[in-house]
Structure 1
Amino acid sequence: MAKILTLTMNPALDLTLQLGQLELGQVNRSNAMLTHAAGKGLNVAQVLADLGHELTVAGFLGIDNQQAFEALFERRHFVDEFVRVPGETRSNIKMAESSGRITDLNGPGPQVSEEAQQALFARVEQIAPGFDVVVVAGSLPRGVTPEWLQKLLLMLKGLGLKVALDSSGLALRAGLAAGPWLIKPNTEELADALDAPIISIAAQAEAAARLHAQGIEHVVISQGSEGVHWFSPSVALHSLPPKVTVAS
């Protein structure tokens, strides 16, 4: 069993609505509604907990609607190291139609002050040496720059920690420059970060070799229903998920 710290800078309350067909500009009625505390890092934490690992979770959390997250932490026995910030954690709305089409509306997240950023940085620097792996996942909230994320990753790397990064856009670009132990972009995110098309498996392998040269040991590239390619310096693996029927 490993001790793992996950960092979710921009968690979300996910509201999922199930309906027959979305009619734009009309009053729509849902068949079911589900609300749950989420965010990439928290989703990763739940899977790792199911696999038997010991989890501590951290990031920024709005104080006005923190109850759903605190209930999750208590239910899953997560150690809570989140820094509270004024306002609400963002809400993301998913509208799932019977056809399988899903429409996402993602909120922007709270404004995070420099004081809160300094508090989280100091807290992570203090507790991180006790962990086997640190996972940094998801987007950045307002006020948090890619440069701040890069500084955090470099600090963790300087402590000798294995750091796994799953982000996109400017945050991914900044993260790559820090040379984390593992990254997990999808093909579009990686192509954007490297300013190069990544269409074929050969192109993925070439991109992975380029990243290995930068000190990134593991490059995991997700492709939706086409599975995942995992490139390490010594081996390349392809995992293909089985076809499934969506139940709800």
Structure 2
Amino acid sequence: MILTVTPNPSLDRTYEVPALERGEVIRASGERMDPGGKGVNVSRAIAAAGRRTVAVLPLGGAPGALVAALLHAQGIEVAPVPVAGATRSNIALAESDGVLTKINAPGPELSAAEQESLLETVRERSAGADWIACCGSLPRGLAPSWYADVVTRAHAGGARIALDTSGPALPAALRARPDVVKPNAEELAQAVARPLTTVGDAVEAAEELRAMGARAVLASLGADGQLLVESAGTWFATAPVTAVRSNVGAGDSSLAGFLIAGGTGPAALASAVAHGAAAVQLPGSVMPTPADLDPAAVTVTSDVPLDRALTEPVP
């Protein structure tokens, strides 16, 4: 069982539009409503793969009730933490050329009692979990050290923990030694406070995160592929993508694929890339099923192309 923790979940509405033009009336060609938040998406991808997952998340108001209902409909066990504020609603506009514009609401502020209830729920539901995936931004009220507290408690209970967050919460959590962290290129550059222009730059940045406490780093480099840097070695993986339809939740699907395949080594990296490549070719934040995957198309190598320039360098 994989437990996910989403401190700042959302109700996500995705509209497919031909092009985004300011000041104009735009008619959507398609729309979806999904439960959102990075940890929620990880649970959705795990459930789509036919594996058991439990989603721990604070929920409040009508949007929160709808998030819970949507998750239950997807066969996901929900461990809700009631909060006074309403769960946030986010909007994503997906253009036909693959460009995505997102409007994310801040979400409710959690009281001290609600924060402790969230931690206690994680502790109670983590018994028997193979992995705990803590993902996303922290809501107002939670200190940057909150994820570090979760990592410490998870390790005390014998669980492995995967972390996907950014900003001050990431370096704070690294000191607690999470088993794997999953930054994208922008988050990786932000964490080491320098630009990334080549795959080699990303490898060096990942090694720096390991020196700061991460036991392994799974780094998404967008269209250029993914890196896995851990004590056993460094691997680079790619997969062809015919057409990008939406990248909402693609990184979360990738993390789910990594954890489903054991969370370590080149086979897990291949699973991560297969899930991520499938997700970007689906609408909205639809999570891929096994039928959507093409594992044979994934290439994994330990001969990392260090000099390869990134398609979208991070300044």
The answer to whether the superposition gives a TM-score over 0.5 is: yes
Number of the residue aligned with 1:172:
170
Number of the residue aligned with 1:95:
93
Cα pair 1:57 1:79 within 8 Å, conserved = yes
Number of the residue aligned with 1:127:
125
TM-score, structure 1 as length reference: 0.91
What stretches of structure 1 of length at least 5 have no aligned partner? none
Distance 1:197 1:81 in 2: 40
Amino acid at match of 1:103: T
Cα pair 2:192 2:208 within 8 Å, conserved = no
Distance 2:119 2:144 in 1: 14
SS at match of 2:102: strand
TM-score, structure 2 as length reference: 0.73
Cα pair 1:59 1:120 within 8 Å, conserved = yes
State which of 107, 110, 114 in structure 2 corresponds to 1:109.
Answer: 107
What stretches of structure 2 of length at least 5 have no aligned partner? 246-282, 284-315
Cα pair 2:3 2:55 within 8 Å, conserved = yes
Q: Give 1:84 shift.
A: 1.5
Number of the residue aligned with 1:150:
148
Alignment of 1:43-82 (within 5 A): 43-82=41-80
SS at match of 1:42: helix
Aligned residues: 246
1:23 aligns with 2:24: no
Amino acid at match of 1:128: S
Q: Give 1:117 shift.
A: 0.5
Distance 2:17 2:185 in 1: 30
Any idea what the Cα deviations from partners look like across 1:122-154, whole Å, max 9, x if unmatched?
121223232111000111111112122222222
Q: Give 1:119 shift.
A: 0.6
Segment of structure 1 superposing worse, 197-206 or 154-163: 197-206
Distance 2:25 2:227 in 1: 43
Q: How large is the Cα RMSD of the aligned pairs?
A: 1.9
Distance 1:191 1:147 in 2: 21
Segment of structure 1 superposing worse, 185-194 or 207-216: 207-216
Number of the residue aligned with 1:200:
198
Distance 1:137 1:111 in 2: 17
Distance 1:138 1:6 in 2: 11
